[in-house]
Amino acid sequence: MINEEKEKKALEKRLLRSLRTASARYDLIADGDRILVGLSGGKDSLCLLRLLALQSRILRPSFSVEALHVRMEEVQYETDLSYLRSFCEQLNVPLHVVTASFTQSSQTTRSEKPVCFLCSWNRRKQLFNFAQDHGFNKIALGHHQDDLLHTALMNLTFQGHFSTMPARLEMRKMPLAIIRPLCAIQETDIQQYATLYQFLPLVKRCPFEHDSQRTAARHLFNELEKMNPEARYSLWHAIEAAGKLVES
């Protein structure tokens, strides 16, 4: 039990150090920020919220954190709201819950766009609207390093250009920035963190999550790592050197 506690604290310390390093390198968090975390209920967003809440207790930079959970009526995945509320209360982070729908889209539009696109687009819209209506200047999303690397491969393979989800993206049409504070943290570390801190899994997972180009990119990345264990760091260096991690 003592060893497990030491392991938990050592991992948390390492993840917080990675978060702070990424924040300084990509200018993610500044004094006076009001940050809204998109809390899906998955391990990544739970990890992000906990680390940001812990970091917000440090004197500098001084910032506040709140969470928004968006529920989509058309997509049958489910989170335990009582658990999310308890999780946020323990961190002293306010939790907001919004239920949204994309049924008002025309039948033509819906038939042309995949469910994943419609769900993601409408979730993002709810985040943007809530952030602007309630005075937040940044939205934090739980994408980790593997997500950014998979996106780079996916865009290169399927879209024909070299880009990824940036660590910081300044929105041009609204006074908001999207930040990804977990951008330098590997998914395996987040999985270990979730296990050690006993994060509860989703009640029902999204039925569409394994049917996408992202899944193919994940498989491709796994093969690259088998071919070269340093592939992760080579690809990350290429993304950084090309200036793809900050967009303004």
**Angle made by CA atoms 164, 236, 199, in degrees to the nearest 5:** 80
CATH number at residue 46: 3.40.50.620
Residues 73, 206: Cα–Cα separation, whole Å: 12
Six token digits for residue 17: 């150090």
Total-model pTM: 0.91
Q: pLDDT for 173-217, tens place per residue?
A: 899 999 999 999 999 999 999 999 999 987 555 555 555 788 889
Q: pLDDT for 59-82, tens place per residue?
A: 789 999 999 999 887 766 668 899
- Looking at the structure of the chain, the number of domains it has is 1
Domain that holds residue 138: 2-247
